[in-house]
Structure 1
């Protein structure tokens, strides 16, 4: 009996999604990846839908999964959301409400297939399809607590939530620092929490908060031997960009910065002007726990209120 239950649990579940472009419709294989996992999964197309294996669901952070061999039902849970799928049926239950599926849950060659966009979005995940390289990326969104904190009128609480939001860096290359980074500096446009920079050594990353994620929009490898002469975002960091990818934002008039010394745990904070000049307002001794929880972010009395 135990062997039969184990075999049933290892049934392959496939997740499908509407394809963007005819290149997918004619393809039978591509790669699927889940943010935070180094594993990629082979997928296929059935009736114009993308299918991936059950092991992929196990890489979804925070999801509980249970397979009932007797009823042929797969139960997925995350926070307050529950999805119940039954093999052979084109109707699923989401929080006990019936939802029709475009493609029925189907078993093919011993594999149970279910729709990826439906499952992912029902459990608060984001799905991105890239037809050019036949890649699908599934990434986590912020939970309900982070979403509420991000909406807070307290700018420090909102900014901490922004920094803690799941990062979506799909489609961007991995840059390598040439210098050793013992300091990280976080920049927010004055009065705002919807975007931020992180500078560590000669690397800079720019994120925007979109759909419950911190989406990586721009990154650069700075040349610390060449001062920035351009009137663009590199002026804020003082050096020219040796390599850069994505779309750099326009300069704001002023930024709030928080500098974290990763060796001494000393925090400094203040303002940074668009020309890169920094004025320190204060400092405080911190701890590894404070840094990990982003609680070094504080309200700045001199900061101007949020602008519409």
Structure 2
């Protein structure tokens, strides 16, 4: 009986040893599989970076982490005309363009942005910032989206493209004048950037008013008046760059006439020259009423050429003249090129 129990114990011991060895083999296989997958992910990372069609000669290639492509910040900063600084003590990298900036901290999935109303405060990253071989790596799409760039990634290449392609630029600069102006007024805020310190909105006027002014014959620059704030922007392949802002104080004269005479305060940047004539397109909401108007602004003052007033809950409305995004007899001038 004792021999039988001993034999049975031996059998169980052998079985337990086999189970233990089998578990070790499975663990080793899983680790090897994970390492192989990691190696495959690294191997699958694109080898080249192109910025606006030009190959970036970088010593370090992009990497892929959990399906996200990260690029070395120092490699793309120059081609994208980004300012770049590194604080070794805090392990923070700050990059910027125009008067906009973004601060990143190694290991953090949050960035802090300033200088553009469309990107302000804490921003969530898809992947945390890394340091690899002494280089700061940042998520490609986050980097691009801060300045409106388009991106594409394949097995071989990372491509960072200008926000506006050649056909879009041609349309906005030299296309049909009314359509180009219409598209400009409907463009996403992601395509507007600031080369000046942001001007605070003071809310001095009641209701909501937005007026666009385009120099006669042009659609590649404009002034937008929103409430008491005026901003001047010019078109580039990177989108619309705001180069001047000012407040228009409440006064006895019409807001646009005050702007024409440059009776403004808190100017930042270089003011546009107010001469010749401008086409204006204005939308005003006050309580339940909306008023659209268009016309000419010049040394002769403000001339309304057409308007339409509508009230919510009522059919029809009132109108007079012709609402138009072009002036009578206006001819297109050649678009300005950087």
Flag whether TM exceeds 0.5 (same fold). yes
* Cα distance in 2 between the residues matched to 1:235 and 1:184: 15
* Cα distance in 2 between the residues matched to 1:22 and 1:260: 38
* Cα distance in 1 between the residues matched to 2:141 and 2:220: 34
Given the alignment of the two structures, is residue 182 of structure 1 paired with residue 171 of structure 2, yes or no?
A: no
Partner of 2:70: 13
* Cα distance in 2 between the residues matched to 1:268 and 1:248: 25
Q: How does 1:201-280 map to 2 (within 5 A)?
A: 201-225=227-251, 236-237=259-260, 240-263=263-286, 264-274=289-299, 277-280=301-304
How much does 1:61 deviate?
9.7
How many residues align structurally?
230
Partner of 1:101: none
Change (3 A) 1:246 1:303: farther
Q: Which stretches in structure 2 are left out of the alignment for 5+ residues?
A: 1-29, 39-63, 96-101, 103-112, 313-321
Change (3 A) 1:31 1:262: farther
Partner of 2:50: none
How much does 1:48 deviate?
9.0
Partner of 1:172: 197
Change (3 A) 1:29 1:274: farther
Q: Cα deviations across residues 98-118 of structure 1 (Å, max 9, x unaligned)?
A: xxxxxxxxxxxxxxxxxxxxx
* Cα distance in 1 between the residues matched to 2:175 and 2:311: 26
How much does 1:177 deviate?
2.1
Structure 2 counterpart SS, 1:197: strand
How much does 1:246 deviate?
1.0
- Give the RMSD, CA atoms, in angstroms: 4.5
* Alignment equivalent of 2:153, drawn from 78, 83, 86: 83
Partner of 1:93: 157
* Cα distance in 1 between the residues matched to 2:153 and 2:67: 18
Change (3 A) 1:49 1:234: farther
Structure 2 counterpart SS, 1:142: coil
* Cα distance in 1 between the residues matched to 2:330 and 2:141: 49
How much does 1:220 deviate?
0.4
Q: In the alignment, is the contact (CA less than 8 A) between 1:37 and 1:59 conserved in 2?
A: no
Q: Which has the higher helix share?
A: 2
Structure 1 counterpart SS, 2:218: coil
How much does 1:256 deviate?
0.6
TM-score (normalizing by structure 1) = 0.57
Change (3 A) 1:83 1:248: same
Q: In the alignment, is the contact (CA less than 8 A) between 1:224 and 1:239 conserved in 2?
A: no
* Cα distance in 2 between the residues matched to 1:62 and 1:219: 21
Structure 2 counterpart SS, 1:304: coil
* Cα distance in 2 between the residues matched to 1:22 and 1:193: 30
Structure 2 counterpart SS, 1:262: strand
Partner of 1:116: none
Given the alignment of the two structures, is residue 37 of structure 1 paired with residue 119 of structure 2, yes or no?
A: yes
Q: Which stretches in structure 1 are left out of the alignment for 5+ residues?
A: 64-77, 86-91, 95-118, 125-140, 289-295
